[in-house]
Amino acid sequence: MDTTKTERFNKGWDKLKEIDGQAGVNVIESLKDVSPDLAKYTIEYPFGDVYSRDILDNRTKEIAVVAALAAMGNVEPQLKVHINAALNVGVTSEEISEIMILMSVYAGFPSALNGTLALKDVLKERASQD
């Protein structure tokens, strides 16, 4: 039983590192002392179950998630993690800008501007890490 939980966990942990890289690992680390169970669930359900599905490819998944988080407008840390993830799996920064332009229509210009500035921040951070 515990062993199989470990299977979803292990699959999730690998998926999280593949897609979110160090930013994702940092999120999990930050949770470990205050809520180890939420850390475990975050690995198991979003990554072990959902991200491990293969009907949508990684690019498509991240495009959908970046659009959703930008539209919600109240989860900036996660938006930045997923802008990073999108760039990691081959979405270009031009395509992410394009998603934000779409969001100006559906969630309004403020969310589109804030999403675009989040992209700008992520690009700057990535440039400084090269």
Residues interacting with a copy of itself, by CB under 8 A? 1, 4-5, 7, 27, 30-31, 33-35, 37-38, 41-42, 44-46, 49-50, 53, 55-56, 60-61, 63-75, 77-78, 93-95, 97-114, 116-117, 119-120, 123
Three-class SS state of 108: coil
**Residue 85 beta carbon to a copy of itself: minimum distance, rounded to whole angstroms:** 12
Residue 8 burial (10 A CB sphere; 0-12, 13-18, 19+): middle
Kindly tell me which of 69 and 87 has the beta carbon lying closer to a copy of itself: 69
Give me the residue label for tokens 């897609």: 19
**Residue 26 beta carbon to a copy of itself: minimum distance, rounded to whole angstroms:** 12
Give me the residue label for tokens 């690009």: 123
Q: Is residue 39 within 8 Å of residue 54, measured between CB atoms? A: no
